[in-house]
Amino acid sequence: MVLLGYNAVYIRKLSDVVNSRPGKFDAKSYVQKLWAGRLQEKLDSAIDVNTLKESLQTDPADGFGKYTHALAIGNYRYAMVKGIAMVDVVKEDEVLVTIQSAQPFKAVVLTEFVYGNTLRDASGLIDLQAFPNTGDLNGVSGELNKKVRQEVIPALKSMLKPGNKIEFTGAVELNKAHLRFDDIEIVPVRIKRIS
């Protein structure tokens, strides 16, 4: 029993343990740093949505491997895409657009309900092992989505009027088993009015 107890626990000074531990994770400042730095680089290098579509339709395995990211296992993959679109309809929670390509297709720009991990995972910037618990990891998503809702969307609402041509960059979610681009939902991060 003594041997079991000796091998089961160890005793240290609490102050030493506390000092050697990293502080509490601050999702807000983490996201602020991410947003101002590496995320901008990712937005600059986002894949054109038509290139992505063609790649996934020609060679899905290669396309998903090259252009998409995911932190969890499963069929859902995420990508940072850019493209040019024409605004069709402005609704209360979303904006319907037609993406310009050889075969134009409809898409939805989210302007109200921005939740989930789409932007975080599409960025491909998060290392799962760097987060000691899922609460912190989800905190990153929460802060990213908050930034989109509070900073990005209010600024772009004036550009999203029917008939306007826009250049967008944003995050999308794709299902490997049921791949479809029609009505794909875009979490907007950058939008610029062209005409």
* Contact residues for another protein, defined by CB under 8 A: 4, 7-17, 132-135
Q: How far is the CB of 2 from another protein (least distance, A)?
A: 13
Q: How far is the CB of 8 from another protein (least distance, A)?
A: 3
In the bound state with another protein, the residue whose beta carbon lies nearer, of 133 and 158, is 133
Q: How far is the CB of 119 from another protein (least distance, A)?
A: 22
In the bound state with another protein, the residue whose beta carbon lies nearer, of 7 and 103, is 7
In the bound state with another protein, the residue whose beta carbon lies nearer, of 61 and 130, is 130
Name the residue with tokens 């950058």.
Answer: 190
With beta carbons less than 8 A apart as the criterion, state whether 46 and 81 touch: yes
Q: How far is the CB of 131 from another protein (least distance, A)?
A: 8
Name the residue with tokens 């921005």.
Answer: 114
| 3-state SS record for 139-162 | HHHHHHHHHHHHHHHHHHCCCCCC
**H/E stretch holding 174:** strand 165-175
In the bound state with another protein, the residue whose beta carbon lies nearer, of 15 and 195, is 15
- Counted residue by residue, the chain has a size of 195
CA distance 116 to 85: 24
Helix/strand/coil for 101: coil
In terms of Cβ atoms closer than 10 Å to its own Cβ (0-12, 13-18, 19+), residue 49 is: buried
In the bound state with another protein, the residue whose beta carbon lies nearer, of 103 and 134, is 134
Q: How far is the CB of 179 from another protein (least distance, A)?
A: 20
Phi, psi at 150, each rounded to 5°: -90, -25
In the bound state with another protein, the residue whose beta carbon lies nearer, of 65 and 132, is 132
Name the residue with tokens 């479809």.
Answer: 180
Q: How far is the CB of 9 from another protein (least distance, A)?
A: 5
